[in-house]
Amino acid sequence: MKWLAIAMLILTQQPTQSPKHPRASAQTTSQEEATNSKQQSRTAPPTADAANRSESSRDEDLRIQRKLAWFTGLLVLVGFLQAGVMTLQWLVYRRQSQIMADQRTEMHSQWQAMQGQLEQMRSSGQQTDRMIEQVTKQVSHLETSANAAKDSANAARESVEVFRKKDRARLRVVLKDLKYTTNVFEHPVVLTVYIYGTREAFIQGSGIALYVTNSKTRDQGYRLHVPMYGLPDVIEPKSTPLEIKPFFLRPFTTEEIAKVRAKEMFVHCDGYIGYTDVFDKEWEILVRKVWQRSDYGVGQDSGYWIAAGEEGETEDRDANSGTT
């Protein structure tokens, strides 16, 4: 198409002349020659210039006719080319139409398959909903059963705990009045251990310390404890109270006794007894006491033991949790 446009542009730039038919041109030329011969015969003889012009005119007509023939051939060729191109386009369109028809058939098949899957999903969804409802009911029943079992276990544990608390051994320590002494063979403090309950107490360890400070607050860092000699390994239930008389390596000095009597210093007694019951549970009883000097008693050494801080009560407690 590009070359055809260029050829048409070149032909349009040539000087346009009306085409002449060869016979008409020959007749015209004969008439002109007869007329000219008549005129020449009347006027003057023919010249060489007129013959040359006639020859040039015939050559020009031949060139124009050749160009027209070429142009007509090009138009025919272009027509054939256009016909071929249109035929190819028709084939391409037909092929595309077949492909689109196949795609439409395939899409219709896929749509039918998707419709089937949708129906299956709906059916599966209904089944799943029913299963979820059944599982929910089962979970509710299981939760009810679990709560009932939990309540039963709690009740059983409480019953066991009540039984243990009622049946286990319990110890209690009572301190007798303080005795001011500087003799290492005497006992400035004596403890009485009581047992309650219907079971034995198995002693695991013990210790006691006696010291003097300038405050009623016990010394948290004091660690000089001596064992409670005379405390048996097993304390039987309903046994008589045990009197423990520990020996202290450092009794009071005369100056300390005077300051205690003047309420300038204070005597502290720290101790503990660790034991287990028949259920193998560990218990401990703590002694955290400070001697309170009294001015209203009989004699200058009268007084009584008071609790030294929050742990001053001499009652047993759980060795792990600290509860009684």
Q: How far apart are CA 49 and CA 55, in angstroms?
A: 10
Does 240 score more than 90 pLDDT? yes
Chain segment 127-144, per-residue pLDDT in tens: 888 888 888 888 888 888
Does 13 score more than 70 pLDDT? no
Radius of gyration of the chain (CA): 68
Which CATH number among 2.40.10, 2.30.30, 2.60.40, 1.10.3470 corresponds to the domain 169-318?
Answer: 2.60.40
Query: Quick one: pLDDT at residue 139?
Result: 87
Q: Mean of the pLDDT values across residues 223-233?
A: 84
Burial of 123 (0-12, 13-18, 19+ CB in 10 A): exposed
Query: Quick one: pLDDT at residue 314?
Result: 57
Q: Which of 231, 200, 217 is nearest to 306 (CA)?
A: 217
Q: How far apart are CA 71 and CA 93, in angstroms?
A: 32
Query: Quick one: pLDDT at residue 226?
Result: 86
Query: Quick one: pLDDT at residue 300?
Result: 65
Considering the chain, what is the average pLDDT of its residues? 80
Confidence of residue 5 (pLDDT cuts 50, 70, 90): low
Query: Quick one: pLDDT at residue 20?
Result: 44
Does 278 score more than 90 pLDDT? no
Does 100 score more than 70 pLDDT? yes
Does 47 score more than 60 pLDDT? no
From its phi and psi, is residue 264 left (phi > 0), alpha (psi between -120 and 50) or beta?
alpha
Query: Quick one: pLDDT at residue 220?
Result: 76
Does 19 score more than 50 pLDDT? no
What whole-number percentage of the chain has pLDDT above 70? Answer: 77
Does 48 score more than 60 pLDDT? yes
